[in-house]
A and B are shown apart, each in its own frame.
Chain A
């Protein structure tokens, strides 16, 4: 372009100089200046035409050539429909898989978060070596905010939920109680109404809230005069002061946003108690020019100081900082990146296959190309023409691939549980299409360049003279084709090993005993928040009625309530003191998960009772405080004695009279936090002695538990028509969701590696059968000279197995390094699992053998006389 511009810029000057020189010559020859100039101009010809033609040299020719190349390419592709279809389909599979996976990569990892300058936003948690990351206590947040200089602003975010009367039936909604500066920290402005005011941080402030855009639409019909109206949550009236923008996105579902002062009014303890870590995270905005590491160092210093000042609540507690993007990505990142790597491999294999097709076709085109070179076409010109052809093919592949991705994305959406995406929408957007365009260009070069360079190599051109039977060019081409097949095999092997490791992990994981029987169990949550449940007897009465009425429903075997359903991520933990134990330092008390349950809970979930008894109806308000422990508590604290009859209390020994719980039974450990995570300490308490307003109902059915849903819901409404139920699920669904990331990785990796295996097999088949076709003559001679058919068979199969062997060796070496990247997704096996590696290698060798078998049989049937007559 620049050369063209430079050349054309002074064309006018050149022409003027030329005419001036000619004029001067004419004057020298004796013409008058006027005549001389006239003659010179006439001799030069039409200046405008000359300029135009010269310009055309630079512009039109390449454009015309390109159009010509495209026309020529299209004609060639139309003439070979078989070749075109196979190549387009192969590329479409590779590009489509890439588009589908990239749409997830983009949605989860790349799409800008709807905040102002999200890179400066940091999520802070407290952390303790025993448990890992935990919520932040309100007093600690206040001290962090006061002490930090690296953060320009900080805001507390407490998860809250409410019962809303709803439109058709009562429902449970969730949201956040936030520091008044929260929206300005993240840089979001209300869609309607006002932001919170600094005065709304203190307890006792008027109950106001912002509605989410979707709640505003669904419950107020998008009423533009919604601001100032009231909405009733948990029987209390809240004034709507605004509506959030439609693209508002938070870490969890947000139906409403309220100032933290409103929450503080109802949670007087939580804002005072430093040891009370409810459900709060802190969002901070880094000050200008502050590096992440600086902020972390400062915050860790502040946390250490607080731990020294308040050992009772803060001993061993520190702080963790994460860029806000990480908080959104969660544990999907590894899986997504592995799948992205896998589809890139599939694309490379697809490209290798198409390159192979091109080489085969290139071989039949050698004469055509040689002829064109002989007629004066430059090598670059022919390469350009062949690349244009590749590009057309890649474009078709890309178009079909995008169509495939359309379906693929829908399929993947079903594999990924919605809550894992944290509100990210996966779709085919302009970013994905841009990526596909990049892939198309890249692919065109990957599969087009090698064959194009190869077919135009000068030594290939000797084909023309040699008659094109056996030449050095053919040997070089076979080497290139062999190398492509080797690359395909090794890439396929790496993918298969990845899939194999995932499969074995998932198998191992599903073999893990969860500690309960998930089959035929339905669960749903309820939170009694209405005014009428402010007294314990009313709460107990509701739960008792619920258990009694649901148990009586046809099809129900047993029903019970409990506070912590396994695999739901909900938890309630507390420090305990066991009577007579050596008192640990404040941060080292046993910290078990606490279940408050009805008598039938353990049997309904099928948790085995190991010692003593389960709770009965007699474990009520009037009886001695009872408790059960799990096997891990028994092992750790009563290693050599019977725990039955021993006592424990919550919290640390204090002066006020202790509430001791007597251990009446020991049950099995349950996998509360997923099959891959270790069991934890657990204690169980009878619900009548510990009334709780939040409980989950569990129902063991005689048949399909989901079929009971509406009957159970009606039963709840028959007790209290305004009481919402939520989180309805079967235990088997919960178990499936708990391994969803692994299952998704396995399914997709399995799919991709299967694709890779088929493409790799086709690749090796193509190379071997082409080589047999080329060597028909040689094989004929061998047989004429008395080589047994078995030898010929071994010769051909040996050639294929040699390629497969090299591919497998390279693949294993690469997989050895790459498989480590997925160790966080593996369970119960190492990333270099011997069985998987050998199994996959053998599988690939067998597939390669099969791919060689057909051409080898063909080679054996070569008739020597026919083969020789060819020459």
Chain B
């Protein structure tokens, strides 16, 4: 029983990182290091993730065919793999974002009921 709960918690974390990657790639194809940089920069270091954990996540997304890979050269003419959002991934991002918003709202309502009453 407890193992199952643990697994769900891990999946939730993985899902979050997945969402962030998809969101980053919405702006255009990027290589692994650039994605890590972008997430770091946009979250202003709030999300402390080890950059390495990006790779299992990328592969998971490739496997689900939410993103695809292209060989290319980076800005300073070095070989690089560019990850790109697929149409399927784009749909998934919309879905996940909506779910995330709902969840965030729900949690916000629970945590700050007074504020909500004030507004209404």
Contact = CB atoms under 8 A, between A and B. Distances in A.
A45 B50 CA distance: 6
Given A57-B59, A57-B60, A22 B33 contact: yes
B86 to A, nearest CB: 14
A744 to B, nearest CB: 55
B56 A17 contact: no
Interface string B46-85: 0000111101100110110000010000000011110000
A21 B79 CA distance: 11
Interface string A174-206: 000000000000000000000000000000000
B59 A46 contact: no
B55 to A, nearest CB: 5
A interface: dominant SS:
helix
Contact of B81 (A14, A47, A50): A14
Given A7-B62, A54-B59, A18 B50 contact: no
Contacts of A43: 50-51
Contacts of B63: 57-58, 61
Contact of B52 (A25, A47, A56, A61): A47
B33 A21 contact: yes
B32 interface: yes
A56 B32 CA distance: 19
Given A17-B33, A44-B50, A45-B50, A53 B81 contact: no
Interface string B6-44: 000000000000000000000000011100110000000
Contacts of B31: 17
A511 interface: no
B51 A53 contact: no
Contacts of B79: 17
Given A57-B59, A58-B59, A18 B53 contact: no
Contacts of B55: 11, 14-15, 50-51, 53-54
Interface residues of A, number: 24
Nearest to B32: A18
Nearest to B49: A45
Contacts of B36: 18
A21 to B, nearest CB: 4
Contacts of B52: 15, 44-47, 49-50
Contacts of A50: 52-53, 55-56
Interface in A42-96: 43-47, 49-51, 53-54, 56-58, 61
Contacts of A21: 33
A54 B63 CA distance: 11
A18 B69 CA distance: 16
Contacts of A11: 55
B80 A17 contact: yes
Contact of B59 (A7, A15, A25): A7
A15 B69 CA distance: 15
B91 to A, nearest CB: 12
Nearest to B76: A24
A18 B51 CA distance: 9
Contact of B56 (A18, A44, A57): A57
A45 B56 contact: no
A45 B33 contact: no
A99 to B, nearest CB: 39
A298 B32 CA distance: 75
A228 B56 CA distance: 78
A466 B42 CA distance: 43
B83 to A, nearest CB: 11
Nearest to B15: A376
B56 A14 contact: no
Interface string A3-21: 0000100110011011001
Contacts of A14: 32, 55, 81
A56 B60 CA distance: 9
B50 A54 contact: no
Contacts of A25: 37
Interface string A253-281: 00000000000000000000000000000
Contacts of B37: 25
A45 B60 contact: no
A536 B81 CA distance: 102
Contacts of B80: 17
Contact of A17 (B51, B59, B62, B78): B78
Nearest to B63: A57
Contacts of B78: 17
Nearest to B95: A376
A25 B37 CA distance: 10
Nearest to B96: A376
A368 B20 CA distance: 30
B63 to A, nearest CB: 6
A45 B53 contact: yes
A204 to B, nearest CB: 82
A56 B10 CA distance: 15
Contacts of B81: 10, 14
Interface string A768-811: 00000000000000000000000000000000000000000000
A78 B33 CA distance: 50
Given A14-B32, A17-B33, A17-B79, A44 B51 contact: yes
Contacts of B33: 17-18, 21-22
Interface string A21-35: 110010000000000
A21 B78 CA distance: 10
B71 to A, nearest CB: 10
A691 B53 CA distance: 102
B46 to A, nearest CB: 16
Contacts of A47: 52
Contacts of A61: 63
A732 to B, nearest CB: 72
A47 B53 CA distance: 9
Nearest to A24: B76
Contacts of A54: 55-56, 59
A46 B52 CA distance: 7
Contacts of A51: 55
Residue among B50, B51, B60, B79 having the largest count of chain A Cβ atoms under 10 Å: B51
Nearest to B50: A45
Contacts of A58: 59, 63
Residue among A25, A45, A49, A56 having the largest count of chain B Cβ atoms under 10 Å: A45
Contacts of A57: 56, 59-60, 63
Smallest CB-CB A-B distances: 5 pairs: A45-B50, A45-B52, A50-B52, A53-B56, A21-B33
7 contacts: A15-B55, A17-B32, A22-B33, A25-B37, A44-B51, A50-B53, A50-B56
Given A10-B81, A18-B32, 7 more contacts: A17-B78, A17-B80, A25-B37, A43-B50, A45-B50, A50-B55, A57-B63
Interface of A: 7, 10-11, 14-15, 17-18, 21-22, 25, 43-47, 49-51, 53-54, 56-58, 61
